[in-house]
Amino acid sequence: MKGKAIISELRVKFAEKNWNETFQLVRRCMEKSRDESKPCEPLVRSLERLQEEFNVSSMNATKSRLETIAKQQGMGFHINEATCYLTADLFYVEVLLLPCGAVQEVKVASHGESPAPSESLLQLLRSKHFADFSVKLGGLFAQYNIPGDNEIKLKLLASLQYLGKDLQQLSLFPRLESAFREPKFCDPQVDMINNGRVGHLIAGKEDSPLTVQFYVPPTDGAETLDSHLDPVIQAAQVTVGVSDMTHKLQMASVILQPPQLDPQGHPVFVPASEASNEALPACFLLRLQPAITMVTSLFQKLSQITDVAVPSVDLQWAPLPKLLMRGSPSANSHCETLDNDETLVRVPLPGGETHTYILPRGAWDVPAHRAAVLDSVPFTQPAHVPALLELLRHQCAINTLLSSCVTAQFASPGSVCDMHFEVRPESDTSFSVTFLRPDTDSLAVLLVNVLNPHQITCSLFGATSDPSMDEYISSVITRCMSVPETMRTLYSRLKQITSVPLCAGHRATTEAENDGSAPSSAAVMDNNRGPAAFCQTAAVPEDGFGVSASAVSAAKSELLPEINASTSANPYTFAPGAVFPHCVGTNGQMSVNL
Using CA atoms of 498, 503, 508, 510 in order, give the dihedral in degrees to the nearest 10: -150
CA nearest neighbour of 585 among 420, 415, 462, 411: 420
Question: Which of these, 213, 181, 211, lies nearest to 200 by C-alpha position?
Answer: 213
In 3D, which of 251, 256, 250 has the Cα closest to residue 269?
A: 256
pLDDT in tens, the chain (594 residues): 565 676 677 677 766 666 666 666 666 665 554 455 555 566 556 655 555 555 667 888 889 889 989 988 889 999 998 999 999 988 999 999 998 889 999 999 988 788 999 999 999 999 888 889 998 998 888 888 787 888 899 999 999 999 999 999 999 988 766 545 555 556 888 889 999 999 999 987 767 789 999 999 886 644 554 555 567 899 999 999 888 899 999 999 999 989 899 888 889 999 988 999 999 999 999 999 999 999 999 999 999 999 999 988 889 999 999 999 987 655 443 345 554 567 788 888 888 888 999 999 899 999 999 999 999 999 999 999 999 999 999 999 999 999 998 876 554 455 556 789 999 999 999 999 999 998 788 999 999 999 999 999 999 999 888 889 999 999 999 999 999 999 999 999 998 887 765 444 445 454 544 454 443 333 333 433 333 333 333 333 333 333 333 334 433 443 444 334 333 333 333 333 334 444 443 343 433 333
Rounded Cα–Cα distance for residues 130 and 149 (Å): 31
Instruction: Say if residues 191 and 199 touch (Cβ distance below 8 Å).
Output: no
pLDDT attached to residue 188? 86
Q: Is the peptide bond before 290 cis (omega within 30 degrees of 0)?
A: yes
Is 195 in contact with 182 (CB distance < 8 Å)?
A: yes
pLDDT value of residue 539: 36
pTM over 0.85: no
Give Cβ neighbours of residue 402 (< 8 Å, ≥ 6 apart).
Answer: 320, 321, 324, 423, 431, 483
Positive/negative CA dihedral, 182, 185, 187, 192: positive
Query: In sequence order, what are the residues at sequence separation of 6 or more whose Cβ sits closer than 8 angstroms to the Cβ of residue 460?
Result: 444, 445, 446, 447, 469, 470, 473, 490
Instruction: For residue 239, count CB atoms less than 10 angstroms from its CB and return exposed for 0-12, middle for 13-18, buried for 19 or more.
Output: buried
pLDDT of residue 229: 59
Contacts of 253 (CB under 8 A, 6+ apart): 162, 165, 166, 169, 270
